[in-house]
Amino acid sequence: MNDIRTAHLSMTPTAVVRRSLAILAGAVLVALSAQVAIPLPGNPVPITLQVPAVLIVGGLLGPRLGAASMIVYLAFGAAGLPVFAPTGMPGVARLFGPTGGYLLAYPLAAALVALIIGHGRSWLYLALGLVAGVAVIHVGGVAQLAILTGDVRTAVSLGSLPFLLLDVVKVLVAGLLIWRLRSKTRALL
């Protein structure tokens, strides 16, 4: 019986190492992308390169490894490692602050991107997956901002609208990278 509970038992040590390194590499990619942060005046949410990094991690690593990579990233940040954007609260407090909803949405976004892309090697599935991933991140971020501000309109105007146009560019870049690298990356895993 080779189901999800026993699949790891049939993997070779090399496969375990490769997958572990892929998970770690995805977490490091998102951590590095967080360091490119541009604060917006009057807005607690900075512009970062995390969104395309999350999309790329999901698109290249697949649903399980992509989500695991984002969970590792969140664990590193919650433990106090400097992996989150350089603005805002440190450690686990960041997950409860204005940007916490975005961060907590990363595992689901990475998995959803991979699941949708996995339905077929076409630009349509790639575009749908990337848009769904961005939507999950926006919903998570806006939901937490709405809780903190007590106002959905304020949350949308601070946490989603200023980022939509730039997110289109991020989706295009992530899509091109995933399209070029996906088959090569998946062959290694």
Q: How confident is the model at residue 8 (pLDDT cuts 50, 70, 90)?
A: low
What's the whole-model pTM score?
0.91
- pLDDT tens for each residue of 56-114: 999 999 999 999 999 999 999 999 999 999 887 889 999 999 999 999 999 999 999 99
* The pLDDT of residue 10 is above 80: no
Q: How much is the average pLDDT of 127-132?
A: 98
- Residues 156 and 142: beta-carbon distance below 8 Å: yes
What integer pLDDT is reported at residue 84 of this predicted model?
95
* The pLDDT of residue 124 is above 90: yes
Considering the chain, what is the average pLDDT of its residues?
92
Could you name the CATH architecture of 13-188?
Orthogonal Bundle (1.10)
What integer pLDDT is reported at residue 9 of this predicted model?
61
Task: Print the SS3 string covering 5-50.
Answer: CCHHHHCCHHHHHHHHHHHHHHHHHHHHHHCCEECCCCCCCCEECH
What integer pLDDT is reported at residue 15 of this predicted model?
87
